[in-house]
Structure 1
């Protein structure tokens, strides 16, 4: 997980700084400025500096953003210089897209449908296990569709009658803001964490259930 190794190393540096102070001050800690110096002189500071604008540059598009990201990686973050502005994801409107129709159908050799992928993950969660996903189930259609499309395990589903009505109307345009009841199947969940990107929260499933990935 991103940042976990930074937290571990930062904890080590904190312990070392406290230990040094205890030795020098006869059991009294009065100054921990050495901790800040240790972190800034470590790989933590260098790696964070190198990638500080990595997300922001992709607001300029895939190709321009990719080129700038590579330059940052090569130069250790020295170019492009400065700190780019970051937008708050929560303030960005969710829109209803229609790109899923252009996706190729699964060939069951290299690509699979979502439920087949859940089976291949070895998911052992009981169908009647308590729901470990914390979301509002009555939400605007655009939010429900976003959850449905980004979830790799078909945990969230927009009711068929809503999709059928949209098809009869010639598409989803004009249905923005309409609220729907999302159908949730928590036993499918493979703990990817995608739902936390916009409006949801995962909690540990009962008994540590979930996917049981195996090396082939």
Structure 2
């Protein structure tokens, strides 16, 4: 509806519809010409194995404040992607022989600002400077070289300073709970400004934070209406994702973990990969009588979001590089 368009309008939310023990929030941007870009972010450290991030997104769109901006419009594109928002405590070693980690792959996301593009640009500049400096030096070796100057430059840059200042924002959620987190975030933003001497640690991987099915309550989600909310496969078509059917699957169960999908993920966690995957790549099939459960991987559906390499129980999936040209074909995203 062109009458609702407000180019430049920005809305961020927390709370609805996720449970109070789940770190989540949304964004909604109005852009020209007559476009609304919206999304819902769910922290993969959520505890309830029955949480379905895609369905949380659909339910979020039913909130009156959101629905009023979307009704009358037409959904034209869909996608999904993991955001590396572990913060300052999770920044890895940035260099290795023959390469370096930049931008989102290095985790340079300011969680408090929901922004990382400025840090990504800075990391590209510093990496380029370090490489040029090495090439202009008297060093002759170039094959497999590790340009450590990039790591040193980033540690001295405003990027590390900025990320250190907000290092406790996300960890505070699980330390103090939803309401305590809101108070602590205000304290950090307006008073402490990252100058506190303490640091809350990320104590274990997201895959280890999922509770087993007998400790969780199943979540009922409303059926899609086809106008504001959609079933997953309908939206998947809007991603333009494509992989040749005869190419080897780029999603592989690790060799020493062939029993984990059924004996651990399905039996103990009720197959969370069937819920957290935004492309219906993973599903458990059984015989007609419900026996003999086994994992089926529909790799051709993949959106390359990387959630499965993070959240599957015991991290049993190895994400490898698919054939060139395969994957989502995003337009205007």
Partner residue in 2 for 1:194: 307
2:180 aligned counterpart, secondary structure: helix
User: Can you give the 5+ residue segments of structure 2 that lack an aligned partner in the other structure?
Assistant: 1-103, 109-118, 140-148
Partner residue in 2 for 1:181: 294
Query: Quick check: 1:50–1:73 contact (8 Å CA) kept in 2?
Result: no
Moved more, 119-128 or 65-74: 65-74
Partner residue in 2 for 1:119: 237
- 1 CA distance for matches of 2:325 and 2:187? 42
Query: Quick check: 2:242–2:301 contact (8 Å CA) kept in 1?
Result: no
Query: Quick check: 1:144–1:157 contact (8 Å CA) kept in 2?
Result: no
Partner residue in 2 for 1:153: 279
1:106-144 deviation line (CA, Å, top 9, x unaligned): 122222112112111111223333200022564221456
Query: Which of 195, 205, 209 lines up with 1:78 in the alignment?
Result: 195
User: Aligned pair 1:69/2:185, yes or no?
Assistant: yes
TM-aligned CA deviation for residue 194 of structure 1: 0.5
User: Aligned pair 1:128/2:253, yes or no?
Assistant: no
Query: Quick check: 1:13–1:39 contact (8 Å CA) kept in 2?
Result: no
2:161 aligned counterpart, secondary structure: helix
Name the structure where strand makes up a greater proportion of residues.
Answer: 2
- 1 CA distance for matches of 2:307 and 2:288? 23
User: Aligned pair 1:42/2:157, yes or no?
Assistant: yes
1:30-54 deviation line (CA, Å, top 9, x unaligned): xxxx988754542122112122223
1:181-216 deviation line (CA, Å, top 9, x unaligned): 211110111111110113123222222211111239
User: What is the RMSD of the two structures over their aligned residues, measured on CA atoms?
Assistant: 3.6
Give the total of aligned pairs.
Answer: 193
2:249 aligned counterpart, secondary structure: coil
- 2 CA distance for matches of 1:186 and 1:147? 13
TM (norm. structure 1) is: 0.70
Q: How does 1:23-38 map to 2 (within 5 A)?
A: 38=153
Return closer, same or farther for 1:12/1:123 CA change in 2, 3 Å cut-off: closer
Query: Quick check: 1:137–1:182 contact (8 Å CA) kept in 2?
Result: no
Return closer, same or farther for 1:76/1:117 CA change in 2, 3 Å cut-off: same
Return closer, same or farther for 1:12/1:206 CA change in 2, 3 Å cut-off: closer
Partner residue in 2 for 1:52: 167
TM-aligned CA deviation for residue 10 of structure 1: 4.2
2:324 aligned counterpart, secondary structure: helix
1:207 aligned counterpart, secondary structure: coil
Larger radius of gyration: 1
TM-aligned CA deviation for residue 93 of structure 1: 5.5
- 2 CA distance for matches of 1:163 and 1:14? 62
TM-aligned CA deviation for residue 76 of structure 1: 3.2
User: Can you give the 5+ residue segments of structure 1 that lack an aligned partner in the other structure?
Assistant: 29-33, 166-178
- 2 CA distance for matches of 1:39 and 1:163? 58
Query: Which of 210, 218, 227 lines up with 1:99 in the alignment?
Result: 218
